[in-house]
Amino acid sequence: MKSSPINRRNSLKLFTLAGTTVLTMPQFLWSCKQEAPKPFLRFGLLTDSHYAEREPAGTRFYRDSIPKMQEAIAELNTQNLDFIIHLGDFKDQDTEANPEDTLRYLKTIESEFQGFEGATYHALGNHDVDSIRKEVFLSHIKNTGQDSAKNYYSFDAGGFHIIVLDANYDAAGTDHFFAEGADWEDANIPPQELNWLKEDLAKIKKPTVVFCHHPLYEFYKEGSKFHVTNYQEVQKLFTENSYVVACFHGHVHQEDVSIQNGITYITRLGMVDYEGVENNAFSVVELTADKIEIRGYKRSGSKNFSWS
């Protein structure tokens, strides 16, 4: 008999106990609790560093992302992690954009990021395809074990399956390039990526974690749309075909959690905001068969989620 995917109807109950978010346990996690070894994953999470050599704008102190990144990498190197991942808007551009300077900012922040003594990964943000094209960005970063041309991909770590998505497309599947007028509010997972995702999920029989710069659930902020336009198509694949337990996002520079159909959708603070390393923001995330624990550093909050 074919094994059943997560029973979402049995994973909707949410309540709070002693400061810990508690969810009913999806079907496959009951199985994980009774079989050895349990899946165990620890990774470092960073997002929205927006590095550029430009003057501050609002809460964004672009230059400070270099010392902040240096501090984060030094700490994450002590944490015995499976990998680290940056969730996009890795670099930025000048007010009067010059592609050569933009590329220099990318090379500089990537050099600091690669100071991590382990596997490193990126999800693409909208500011990563502003005055340089997607293929240029990809050719100057490293995603461990991946083809340098891949902007969405998957791999396994710590008993989990990891999926990294890219929503920097218009609805027709054309790459966003903001120097040519792409609409940053209309981010999409296009047909070709949806087909790849469906095929990837169909092969997986282990807990799965998804990373995407743009939220894969509805999210508006200050009158602007921050979520993936066709997020419902993506969620449908998650609920019908997979063992997805959590999705992590950047983009909104705000901490938020939404539980939908038994999947935990999480957004995290941006590194670029506020002056000085005392306002740094990054996290260590630990997942097992029955919990998600987020340890936030500096401005980033800490949060625990337990299945029971």
Calculate Rg over the CA atoms of the chain: 19
The pair of structure tokens assigned to 170 is 């218009």
Contact assessment for residue 199 and residue 242, using Cβ atoms and an 8 Å cutoff: no
Per residue in 87-107, pLDDT (tens digit) is 999 999 999 999 999 999 999
Could you tell me the CATH superfamily of domain 26-307?
Metallo-dependent phosphatases (3.60.21.10)
> Over pLDDT 90: what percentage of the chain?
84
Instruction: Evaluate if pTM is beyond 0.85.
Output: yes
Distance, C-alpha 132 to centroid of its chain: 21
Distance, C-alpha 23 to centroid of its chain: 22
Mean pLDDT of 174-178: 95
Per residue in 236-256, pLDDT (tens digit) is 999 997 799 999 999 999 999
Distance, C-alpha 246 to centroid of its chain: 10
Query: Is residue 62 classed as helix, strand or coil in its secondary structure?
Result: helix
The whole-chain average pLDDT of the chain stands at 89
Lowest mean pLDDT among 32-46, 59-73, 79-93, 264-278: 32-46
Q: What is the DSSP string of 233-299?
A: HHHHHHHHH--EEEEEE-SSSS-EEEEETTEEEEE---TTBSSSGGG-EEEEEEEESSEEEEEEEET
